[in-house]
Amino acid sequence: MTNSHDTLRQRLLVPLLALGVFAIINTEMGVVGMVPLISEYFGVSIPAAGWSVTIFALVITVAGPVMPLMFSRFNRKYVLMLVLTLFVICCAIAALTTNFAVLLSSRALAALFHPVYVGLAFTLAANSVLPAERPKAIARIFIGVSAGMVLGVPASSYIANELSYSAAMFFFAATNGLVLLLTIVIVPSMPVTHGQSYGTQLKALKRSVVWLAIGATIFTNGSTFGFFSYFADFMETLGHFDAAQVSLALCLYGGANIVGNVVAGRLLASRPKLAITLTPWLVGAIILTLYGTIAQIFTAMVVIVVFGIINGMIGNNCQYLLGKAAHDAPDLANGLFLSSANCGTAIGTALCGIFIGAWGIAASVLGALIMVVFSAAVNVMTLKVLAAREHIEPQLAEAVA
């Protein structure tokens, strides 16, 4: 009976972690659609209200490499419980306060611990299966990431608009609270018996391949999410999409994003070089195709679905590269991934914004393509260095050779 119970717990671990990541990402991204309501509720300007989103991303960028490392030597279950408890408290404070500074402070505190949970979810998912199956397990965690962005924004916006701002914040608290209860019941105690010292893990930063993988993550995320940041305006201005068509396109994109997670998991388990080498060029090709077909609604919708699938592969590829580059420091690697991914999104958004300011929304394509070229080049360089290392998995070494 005990063995059956333990087996069930093991099977439920990765789905529960994916659900937890969904709750965490939902808390981060759910306020995107609530910015006008936050502005009205707290009596601040729209740009000021936007800081409820911006401060989260900025804190993750800074905390990403540090926080997962700091908690890497503590019992895994207790760390998961701590983060979820903090998220519940922070969401409750955000729901109850009428002070905008308190709201931002609660968001910043939650963001500080965001990389701890998400990074640990990647680590635990990878350790729950055989090495050859790790990309597939990690891809299931990325489904939680995609679902948090795809479902979280419309769900929280609906609650906020139909009920109130506070109701949406309590929704975030309840979602994290549910995962906390399930974690207490399902996740076994997971003490770290052979924890590495912080200094040992930080030695990974001395390797050039780690910095190459960081660069690959920055450029790859910048190429796709920089363009996507302006995608709604791109569709409305160049394609003359109405509000309903934009919403449909974003829903199709989100659903395809989840499919891309699954595709990436399978490709990385069997043909990692193909997945990592080809993806940047596919991003570039799809963006160019969108530019050429955006005025043809049906064709554009089909291309947007493909765009969603390709973009769903991006995170998996980058996490794979950093996981390989810093294979002996997985907690650090996952933190670096989260930090550099957010950094890439910020840089890509800023670059595309500069081009838009100079030549209009169509020029966002040019900004994205510049990032694509750098992404493709650095990806190849990272793969070549990884293939030369003794720890590389056999199939990757054979593929690059």
Whether the CB-CB separation of 303 and 293 falls below 8 Å is answered with yes
Specify whether the backbone of 20 is left (phi greater than 0), alpha (psi in -120 to 50) or beta.
Answer: alpha
| Mean pLDDT over each residue of the chain, to the nearest integer | 87
Could you tell me which CATH number the domain at 2-186 has?
1.20.1250.20
| pLDDT value, residue 105 | 96
Task: Report the b/e string of 128-151 with b at 16+ CB within 10 A.
Answer: eeeeeebbbbbbbbbbbbbbbbbb
Architecture of domain 198-400: Up-down Bundle (1.20)
Indicate if the pLDDT at residue 398 is higher than 80.
Answer: no
Query: Model confidence over 297-354: pLDDT tens digits?
Result: 999 999 999 999 999 899 899 999 999 999 888 888 988 998 998 888 888 888 988 8
Indicate if the pLDDT at residue 5 is higher than 60.
Answer: no
| pLDDT value, residue 3 | 60
What pTM did the predictor assign? 0.83
| pLDDT value, residue 240 | 92
Q: Which residue has the higher pLDDT, 227 or 396?
A: 227
Query: Model confidence over 68-84: pLDDT tens digits?
Result: 888 888 899 999 999 99
Do 2-186 and 198-400 agree at the fold level? yes
From the CB of residue 306, how many other CB atoms can be counted at a distance below 10 Å? 17
In this prediction, what percent of the chain has a pLDDT beyond 90?
A: 47
Is the alpha carbon torsion for 119, 153, 46, 230 positive or negative? Answer: positive
| pLDDT value, residue 399 | 47
Give domain limits for the chain.
2-186, 198-400
243-270 and 297-325 helices, crossing angle to 10°: 40
